[in-house]
């Protein structure tokens, strides 16, 4: 039996390790790992996009600060435009005055003051008219309700003043009652029911609920 020394004699070449291309195995494993990593990353991104976004207190404060800054910047630009417009008007006014004599300047100033007074009065009248309209509208809606009329009729009323509003309510009520009566008469005619003149109910004075109850009841008796 040979021993180790007999196997590796000086005349025989010693065993050498077989060269392995470790890079080859590394590339194959790396490709698989890269593909798997890409799929995991894509799946993670999709899951993250499906979940609701949460914000930290710092992020919320930053968003609020950004909104405030944008609004302040917009208001500042608007203010600068108004100031520039006022300066331009003042410059134009000064140029006009420079070309006038004393009498013309006095007349111009008088007209300016009168126009400003008219503008203030017009603004006051507009506000008062709007307030009066709101009060008349509220009163008219309550009046329509008391008369058993649809409150939606308030859109056709005249709110110029109290008298005009009251007159328009009377006119609308009359037209509405007549239309209701005509509708009832036509319904009765189609159902074959004959109503004597002396016993005919006044549907025009009924409320909506009373009208529908009476007409449906009449229709059921045919």
Please answer whether residues 141 and 154 qualify as being in contact, where contact means their C-beta atoms are separated by less than 8 angstroms: yes
Rg (CA), the chain: 47
HSE, CB side, 13 Å, CA atoms: give it for residue 218: 21
Dihedral over Cα of 203, 209, 215, 221: its sign: negative
Per-domain residue ranges for the chain? Answer: 100-220
CA distance 185 to 202: 11
d(CA 178, CA 213): 18
User: Looking at residue 185, what is its pLDDT?
Assistant: 79
Q: Is the CB of residue 161 less than 8 Å from the CB of residue 190?
A: no
Residues 6+ away with beta carbon under 8 Å from 27: none
Q: What is the pLDDT of residue 117?
A: 92
Q: Are 128 and 114 in contact (CB under 8 A)?
A: no
Give mean pLDDT in consecutive 10-residue pieces for the chain, a chain of 222 residues. Answer: 48 48 48 54 59 79 90 92 89 84 87 91 92 93 92 91 92 91 82 57 59 52 40
* Other CB atoms within 10 A of residue 160 CB: 14
Give dist(CA 192, CA 171) in Å, integer. Answer: 32
């Amino acid at each position: 039996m040979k021993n180790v020394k007999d196997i590796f004699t000086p005349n025989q070449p010693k065993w050498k390790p077989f060269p392995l291309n470790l890079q080859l195995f590394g590339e194959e494993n790396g490709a698989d790992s890269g593909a798997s990593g890409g799929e995991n990353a894509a799946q993670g991104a999709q899951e993250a996009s499906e979940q609701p976004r949460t914000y930290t207190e710092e992020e919320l404060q930053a968003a609020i600060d950004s909104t405030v800054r944008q609004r302040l910047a917009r208001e500042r630009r608007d203010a600068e435009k108004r100031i520039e417009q006022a300066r331009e008007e003042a410059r134009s006014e000064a140029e006009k005055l420079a070309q006038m004599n004393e009498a013309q300047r006095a007349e111009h100033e008088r007209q300016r003051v009168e126009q400003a007074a008219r503008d203030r009065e017009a603004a006051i009248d507009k506000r008062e008219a709007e307030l009066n309209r709101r009060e008349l509208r509220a009163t008219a809606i309550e009046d329509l309700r008391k008369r058993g009329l649809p409150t939606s009729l308030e859109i056709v009323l005249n709110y110029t003043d109290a008298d005009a509003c009251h007159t328009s309510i009377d006119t609308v009520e009359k037209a509405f009652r007549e239309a209701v009566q005509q509708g009832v008469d036509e319904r009765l005619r189609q159902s074959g029911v004959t109503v004597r003149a002396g016993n005919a109910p006044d549907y025009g004075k009924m409320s909506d609920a009373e009208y529908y109850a009476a007409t449906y009841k009449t229709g059921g008796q045919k």
